[in-house]
Structures are given as structure tokens and as C-alpha cells.
Structure 1
């Protein structure tokens, strides 16, 4: 179970333990409390887990002198290690605008729905993508329902400040005038900026908030976290009545006296009340007790925990699987056709993929192999080869994959050296469909090439290798294993990735463009160079070779489409797969017109310089002849 705490605005004390963010099978305890002392405290698990993010939390909220508490906060501390690893620990606080009768609903809805929906987003999404998607949807809901009110000031409007602690990083999401501070080594720093305009005295009005407008602009930032950090979230009923020095002193005293986080929160609120606060008061403390360590020895032990199987032969068995055929045996991996021993002769076949024993000590390769299994289990689409969860107690490291009957795109290219345009378009449509699956999950393949694409007998186009896939959500998890060089085949990798920049979805568009060019012509659109040379070539020095030079029947507009897909600069490349697919099917008048207007040096750079060289040669020869005649 995980700790899940939500401050409510009813006259109850509430603590919840739940199985998941869906709140199924939860245990609730409610205690009656005095009127106007609407308060909540946090369930905090102090069970320590080795080498993982460990956080203790506590919060408190009261109505103060107001008749209703329009503040709300919510916290989710998952006990499942994988959830903490891939999604993190979430805490948020909200303050509904006091002029609205719906403020209480707005604040409660924002904190509870944000946490529930955040944990429902794909693990492959990074925090920013997940949070922004959830908040955009939540803002639309609040804004639309607020429009139903007869009075404009009765909208569903609230501030929102959230912290997602993931691995060694704090991700801050903020809109409005609630605040997030960080207390580190005796110093308190305000991390957020108030979205409000001050008026006379302590009065102010919000300029940005959830539900205020159909368009939402949220502040997002990342901060590194250290053991001992305390993140302090508060509403204006607290921080408007306490100076930074007072908050710092109260947190320091709480730590010195070893109070729990709830008692610290109560002490802070009591001081704000004593200073004359006339608003609802809420605050929340998250203390980082431990952070994941970046230990290369631990990484080595985890990645080498399982043994790479020996090279297998037909008839060999491994974990109740019998080798029926050897599909591929190379320097990097071995691929076998297998079936379960107890199955009959007509039973389903699987692919068993195992690393080569040569990489038993290569942590980067093993990390990629492990990531491939994770990616394969995340994606459930007919265009992506399935990777099955197999015997977890097995001592061996391998993937058990879907058997895709058919031929590789490379073999198809060998068999069809001059294919029809229509047949290439059909395959292109399937490839783009498959890559879109990765893009929707915030993944970049990075190693698209004909060898990794299968043409299945049932007509599907299937991607079968994704050990180099870049996953935004995984990249946020600190690791001592990092890539020193680009991963993949140099002939198909985008120039920006080769140059050391982070790959993006336009990088896969480049690879698709190169593959389409090669399918039509049997050649590559750029001169092949060694990888160490390619990495140092700037974008402007990549010169596209027209497909028309290799195949005269290629239409001019199709060549321009290929050129744009293969643009060395990602800014000049197609920005979406759908655009490439459309232009590959029918002429795009706009890019044809743009091409016609461009200078000759851009349209035909190689031919241009050949002509210039020829002219210069003629001039030199003419001058030489002239000098000879006058002498």
C-alpha cells in the first residue's frame, strides 16, 4: 500500500491508506473536531528502502477566522518501488479564491484530481509532459464549469503549487500565489514567483490561476535535491503573515527538537495566527531523508545479476523453452526460434533474444538490453514487436518476444531494387504508423534502419529492435551509466544526435527519410563517412544528393520531399510524421514554390560548385594562354 493523504474541508480528520491512486480498497478514519478547526494531518511511512528516494511528510490546515476552509492539499507517497522510481512522490497545495462560493470545490478538485491523473499517465512520459497534460485538462474543466455560474466572480478558480520528487530532482509546478520554499542547511529560499498584483496593505489580486482562463500558463522548473532538504508549501494565509526569518527559525526549531512534520506545520500556522492572519492557513512539509545513490558498483551488480546464456544450438533447452532454429548469431546478440517444451508441434513459437557473451561486462550495453525489455512491455501495439514477461526467477538474461513471420525491410530492398512508388508508399505508411506509437509515449527510437523493420506475412510493418530507444521518463532517473557515443547505425542517425545533441522526434523523421531514399534508389542521400568524421561535420556541410541522379523516373516534387525529410538541420526538417506522409503521397505546392525561389547554391549545391570550379578552370587556362601569347 501507499500513503495517500488529502486535506478535506469538512469538519473531519482524514487519513487514508490506499492500494493505488484509484483509491480502491482504502481505509478511512474520521474523527469529529470542533467547528472552524478543520484540519488534516499526514500519514507518513518511515519504512526505509535501500537506495531509493525516501521522504517524510506532514501538513496542517485550518479555516482560521474564516467560516469555511477554502484551502486544500494532497500528498501521495507510493510504497511500490517502481512507482516511486518512474513517477516519483507528489505533493500539492491549493487556495481557492475567497470571492467565489465555489472556491472550496476548486481547490479540493485540483489537488485530488491532479494526483490521481498524474499517476495514470504513462511511465515513459517525463514529469513536465505528465503534469502539463493533467493541468491543461483540469484547467479546462474548472474554466468550463465556472462559466455555468450566474455571477462572474463565482467561477472555479484556485491557485496551485505542486512538487514531484523523482530520483535526484524536484520538479516544481506552480500557478497563483501559493508558494514553494526549500530549506537547506539552515537557509530558506523561495522557489516560486507570485502571480498576483499587490494593492494597498496586504490586498492583492491574482493574475494567473487554475480555472481563470481557457489558456493556462504554468511555471515549471527543476531543482536538484539533497539529503536533508525540506520543501515547504504554503498558502498566503501563512506566508503573508510570516517573514522568511520566522519560517526559517520555526523549521530549524522543529528539526532541533526532532518534532514530526505535522507538529512543525502546526507550530508554523500557530505563529501566523498569532501574527494576525485573517485568512485560511495551510502548509505542508516534505523532508528528504534519503536520495538514490549514483554508485557504479551497485549499477554493475544490478545489471550483471542475471547470467548471459551460452550460445545455443537447435535442440538445446533453457527455462522450459526448446530451441527450434537459430535465426541470427552475431557479435552483439543471438536470436533463436523457440517453443515451450510441453507444447505440441503446432503450438505457438516465440523469439528468444540473448546478449552476446562478449558484452557480459559492458554496462552500457546491458542497460540498453534491460531498457529494451521495459520499452517492449510498455508498448502494446500491433506495429511493435511484443516482449513478454517471462520467468522472473530465471538466472538467465534474455527477452522472450513475439515471433513475427515475414522478411526484414533490408531483404525486401534486396529483392526489389527498383520498387514501384506505390509499394514504397504502403511500407512508408506502416513505418510512420509504428513510429507514432513511440512518439505518443514520449520515446525516440534513434536507431531506425532496414534491419530493424519487419514486413510481416499478415501485412503489418513491425519494428523489432528498440534497445536504443530514448525515453524521457527514464532519462529523469539519475544513473551512473551514461552514453559516451551516439547509439545506432551512422548511415541513418540524424546529424544533431551524432553531434552530441539530444535526440528528438525529428531525429526519427530523418532516419525515415534516409530509409525511403534508399528504398527508391538503393543509395544513401549523403556521402558515407566514418562515424568519427561524421560527428564533427556541421549541419551546413551535409550536402544532399538528389534522388533523380540515381533514378530518372522519380518526380521532382518527390525528390524535394525526400530532401526536406533528410534536412541536416532539425528546424528545416518536417516537424511531424503526418506532414511527411502527406507530401510523400501527393505534391505539396508550397514547398515546390519555396524550392523554386531558393538560390541555385541551395537547390543544387554540388552542381553549383562544379560549375563554379569549371568556370574558374576556364579563367585560369585563358589567363595562362594569354600570358603565353604576349611573352
Structure 2
């Protein structure tokens, strides 16, 4: 019988002497309302190897991380786009963390199935197992990706194993009564397909009891054959009801909302009164507004009324709120939820009572080097927070940086922010070109080269250079770069010549981060920020080893003592 919404049931069973040391993790989540229509329900299982000291952490992190991020993706993304981007971002994080630990790693097999409308979408990495029981037909849906090394079977193509991720994807229609089984490789050799069908069908109305039967039988079979049976886990999901028909595309949740008209001070929209017009550009309108009910002051950002429905920036605008929601940092502006449903296309951000970095520099010409470096470090933390979520900012420059009355730095404008993905380089460049290059943009944007985190590093370093000197590091404007040979015209202008307070070491730090060649900059943003904290340390000096500048007076004192000892030795003969 069809229903208005997808309905499902699930059951689980673990066999483990100590759940805290279990190397597998599994979960089912079915949201309500519009989120269910847009994103569907999700069931997933992860598993790491017994030889991995971080097996439990890897399994839990992959499951919890996917659930947290998948249901936060933009509503107008389809299931495949949402899950694939989340998995690639999660893989990058796990791979990066694994390289920082000496024992074990955040590597795990993962199978995630999304049930949306009348279809199921399976995303599979590694050697976890997914089966479907439809009537008397029991079918394995996942493929076993394993490698034999020294007599042991290890998963391959797993999450966190490599910088790139190869994902198996399958899309299949659902039928009412379908039962999906999620389990791990350790069950291989214990249960036959007929055992699964018999044990599940014995009482399919109680899925927890069915999982318990599977776990108990698998454990008994394993003990009979003389190998460990203490790491089994089973998860069953049954489709109880399907919606009448395919829901509208999830993008219509916000994508079909009209663009707000031009607003003036005093006008109201959805209970929000305009207090000040902060910005009007070809792409967007930014207003300071007050919620007439809660009295909260916020910032409303809306697309420009002149934009057509096919404009690439308008498509990206739908992602901006999601971008802000993903990042939790005191140095990045935070999103605010409206107190009533939106009738127009816009989003709300926290209002920062302060001034732009450009205005701050004009009002504080006597600011010390340390004050300026403190702002630079805070701004670096903002960009770093974006990079941790696999996001590129692409427009770091003084007018996008706010400083409140307490000296707190907040990175405010995310109009060109973009999620790194397989074809994101092309989209990132085209998006920035539409928004507009700035004098702090990295050369690769003008030359249509590959862009990445080091491109943000250049913009950050250029902004820091301007903050310390009031000028730009190169005579050649970025917009005048037409071909790669133009890079030879870019000659770094020493920051020391414009601000004698800048030390030679700090000047060298800026020179490297501002290299026209992307590959010559710091490999990681954290290295650049660390160098900014230690401006007196020469580049390449190991941590803890500083240059010791011996004063001339010290050696004069040593010479005097030696002379006195020599005289005493003659007198005492």
C-alpha cells in the first residue's frame, strides 16, 4: 500500500564482549518532513581491520561523519551529488588524519544506502556486505574489494586509505516488503544464503529478534569451526510503505522561491525590517535587518533582482547558506535561522558590529606590528576553518574581513566559496571570474590554471602583506596576467623596504607564501601560520632551535676574565 511518505523499520544486533573495542559501527536515520522528502532515509555500516589500533574510532567517525554531513547538504543537490561530495570530503579528512598518527589509521570499509522516494542508492567502499531479500530471492548488492597480503585479507578501496576515493554506486527501485541486510566480512564462511532467508523469515515482524538469531547462529558456526566469533554485527532494514509517486526535485524547497525585490530602509520582508543597506552589487544585495518579533539584528543576503534564473551565480547562491552552516568557527560568520518560513530567496547571518579591515587600517595608522600580526593570525584561522571542511574561500581581501569592538576578526563574505571536488577547479574559477578577481587573487585564477588551498594561501599572504605595508607585493596587477610568461614580470617587493619593523625572517615567510608559482608556496596553510607565529625564526630552522645573537659585550667580558686568570697564574708561581 502506498503512502504519502516513505516508511521503514530496522533492527540491529552486536556480538562483542566489549562494545567499546568493537571495530564495526552501524546506524539508521529517518528524518521527518521536508528533510525526508529532500534527502530520504539512510542506513549504513562500517568496519575496520582487527590489526588497526584505531579500528573503533575509524568506524564510528565514518558513520557519524557521514550522517552529520549528508543531511546538511543543500536541498537542491540530488542524492548522488550529496553523498559523493560528503564521502570525498570525509575521505580527505580521514586520509589526512591517518598521516599524522604513528600507529593505525582512520581507514574503514563503508556501505551507505539512501532510501529516497521509491528508489535506493547504494554507495560502497571496501569489503562490507549489503544483501537484499525480496520474496525468496537473496542477493548480494555490494562487491568485495579485498587484497591478500601474507595470508591475510585486507580491504581495498576503503575510506581513508588513499587521497582519492573510488566509490561503487548503484541505483535500484524499491518494493514494499524489501529487506536489506548490512553486515561485515567476518561473517563469511558461517552462514549460507538459505540460512539468512530462514532466520530472517522465521519472524520478520521483529527485526531486532531476527538480527539476534543471525548473530547467535553465526557465532555458534564460528565456534564449531574453531575460529573467533566475537565480532559479528547485523543490521536489517525493511521497507514498510512507499510514497505515492516520485517527489518533486528537492531543489524546489528553496530554488523556486522568488528573488526579493529591491528593498529600502524601513521596508519589511517576512517580518524583517531593513535598518541599513550594506551592499549593492551586480550579484547580490546585503541588508542589516531587525526581526520585528525577536528584536534580533541580523544580516540578510539576497540575490540581485536583475539576475536571471539561469545565472550561474544564482545557482551557487543556493549553496552559500549550507557553506556557512558547515563551518563552526568564531572567526567565520555564522548563519541564523529565520523565525518564520521564508517566502523569498535569501539567508540570514549574525550581525557583526564592527568595521572592515580597510577601515580599521585607516583609523589605526599607528598600530604596532604585533597588533597587525594578531589580526593576520586570526584571519589565518578563519581560512583554516574553511579548509578543514574542504572549502575554498577564493576572495580573501580586506573588505571581506570584519573586526568587532573587541578586536575579534570575522571572515564575512562567502560569495565565491566553493567545495573542492573532482570538477570543482573549473567551477571555482568560473565562479570567481563572475564575482570578480581582486588585487589579492592568486595568479592561477587569471591564467585559468588549477586552483586549490595554496590559492587561498596566496590571497591570505597578500592581505597580510598589505596589512603590514599598505601596498601590494607586486607591481603587475593580477588582472593583467594573460599568459604564463607574464609571471616572469612579477618581482617580489620586499616588505622591509616599506615597513622597517618587518624582520628579514618575516619578509622571507611572506615572499614564499606569495610565490607566483603555486607549487613553491607552503605545502600546507598550517606551515604558513606557524611561520607567522615565529617571525624571528629563519625559514628552515627546526622547532626549538633559534639563532643566538651573541653581544659584543659578552666576548669582551670573557676576554677580561681570561686575562685576569693569566695574571694570577704568573703571580702565584
Pairwise TM-score range, normalised by the shorter structure: 0.5 to 0.7
2:172 paired with 1:224:
no
Go from structure 1 to structure 2 and tell me whether the alpha carbon gap of 1:261 and 1:128 turns closer, same or farther (over 3 Å shift): farther
Is the 8 Å Cα contact of residues 266 and 273 (structure 2) preserved in structure 1? yes
Correspondence for 2:146: 193
Which structure 2 residues correspond to residues 23-42 of structure 1 after superposition, within 5 A?
none
- Matched residue SS, 2:318: helix
Shift of 1:366: 2.9
In the aligned structure 2, how far is the partner of 1:59 from the partner of 1:503? 45
**1:543 alignment partner in structure 2:** 490
Q: 1-side partners of 2:472 and 2:58: how far apart?
A: 55
Q: 1:590 aligns with which of 517, 532, 539?
A: 539
Change (3 A) 1:315 1:208: closer
Q: Report deviation, 1:365.
A: 2.2
> CA 1:131–1:324 in 2, change beyond 3 Å: closer, same or farther?
closer
Confirm whether residue 387 of structure 1 aligns to residue 335 of structure 2. Answer: yes
CA distance in 1, matches of 2:322, 2:285: 19
* Distance across 2 between alignment mates of 1:542 and 1:251: 71
The CA distance in 2 between the partners of 1:232 and 1:197, in whole Å, is 31
1:408 Cα shift? 1.5
State the distance in 1 between where 2:239 and 2:283 align: 41
Change (3 A) 1:416 1:362: farther
CA distance in 2, matches of 1:271, 1:377: 44
Equivalent residue pairs, number: 478
Distance 1:117 1:311, change over 3 A: closer
Q: Judging changes above 3 Å, is the alpha-carbon distance between structure 1 residues 192 and 569 closer, same or farther for their aligned structure 2 residues?
A: farther
Which residue of 337, 341, 344 maps to 1:396? 344
Taking the aligned partners of 2:131 and 2:488, their CA distance within structure 1 comes to 47
Deviation string for 1:453-482 (max 9, x for gaps)?
11223312111111332346xx69x99x96
Matched-pair contact (CA < 8 Å) for 1:59–1:282: yes
Counterparts in 2 of 1:342-421, with a 5 A limit?
349-362=297-310, 364-413=312-361, 421=369
One of 258, 261, 266 as aligned partner of 1:315 = 266
Deviation at 1:415, TM superposition (A): 5.8
- TM-fit CA distance, 1:505: 3.4
Match of 1:90 among 22, 44, 58: 44
Flag structure 1 segments of 5+ consecutive residues without an equivalent.
1-44, 64-69, 98-105, 145-158, 199-204, 210-215, 253-258, 290-294, 594-631
The answer to whether 1:464 aligns with 2:412 is yes
Is 1:170–1:225's contact at 8 Å kept on the other side of the alignment?
yes
TM-score when scaled to structure 1? Answer: 0.57
1:573 aligned onto 2:533: no
- Within-5 A mapping of 1:198-217: 198=151
TM-score (norm 2): 0.62
* Cα displacement (A) at 1:413: 4.8
Q: 1:425 to 1:161 in 2, by over 3 A?
A: closer
RMSD: 5.9
Work out whether residues 283 and 313 of structure 2, in 8 Å CA contact, stay in contact via their aligned partners in 1. no
CA distance in 2, matches of 1:401, 1:85: 24
| CA gap 1:89/1:312 in 2 versus in 1, 3 angstroms | same
String of CA shifts for 1:55-89, please: whole Å, max 9, x gaps. 998889999xxxxxx99976423111759949954
Query: Aligned partners of 1:231, 1:542: CA distance in 2, in Å?
Result: 63
Q: Does 1:436 align with 2:384?
A: yes
Higher mean displacement: 508-517 or 408-417: 408-417
* C-alpha displacement of 1:438: 2.4
In 1, distance between residues paired with 2:520 and 2:59? 41
Query: Is the Cα–Cα contact under 8 Å of residues 434 and 462 in structure 1 kept in the other structure?
Result: yes
- For residues 109-153 of structure 1, the C-alpha deviation after alignment (integer angstroms, 9 at most, x for no partner) is 997787457646795894366579789999x9xx99xxxxxxxxx
- Whole-angstrom CA distance in 2 between matches of 1:592 and 1:96: 40
8 Å CA contact 2:379, 2:409 repeated in 1: yes
Whole-angstrom CA distance in 2 between matches of 1:459 and 1:118:
36
Could you list the per-position Cα deviations for residues 176-201 of structure 1 after superposition, in whole angstroms to 9, with x for gaps in the alignment? xx654799xx9977431145643xxx
**8 Å contact from structure 1 (residues 449, 489) kept in 2:** no
Task: State the 1:493 CA deviation.
Answer: 3.4
**Equivalents in 1 of 2:88, 2:31: separation in Å?**
22
* Alignment-derived partner of residue 282 in structure 2: 331
Change (3 A) 1:272 1:351: closer
The CA distance in 2 between the partners of 1:515 and 1:164, in whole Å, is 42
Give deviations 1:565-618, integer Å, cap 9, x for gaps.
11244443223444334434523323599xxxxxxxxxxxxxxxxxxxxxxxxx
Residues 495, 419 of structure 1: alpha-carbon distance in 2 compared, 3 angstrom cutoff:
same
Q: 1:115 to 1:324 in 2, by over 3 A?
A: closer
Distance 1:540 1:550, change over 3 A: same
Note closer, same or farther for the CA distance 1:392–1:90 as it changes in structure 2 (3 Å cut).
farther
* Contact persistence 1:95–1:235 (CA under 8 A): no
The DSSP-based 3-state class of the residue aligned with 1:338 is strand
For the 8 Å contact 1:170–1:222, the answer to whether it is kept is no
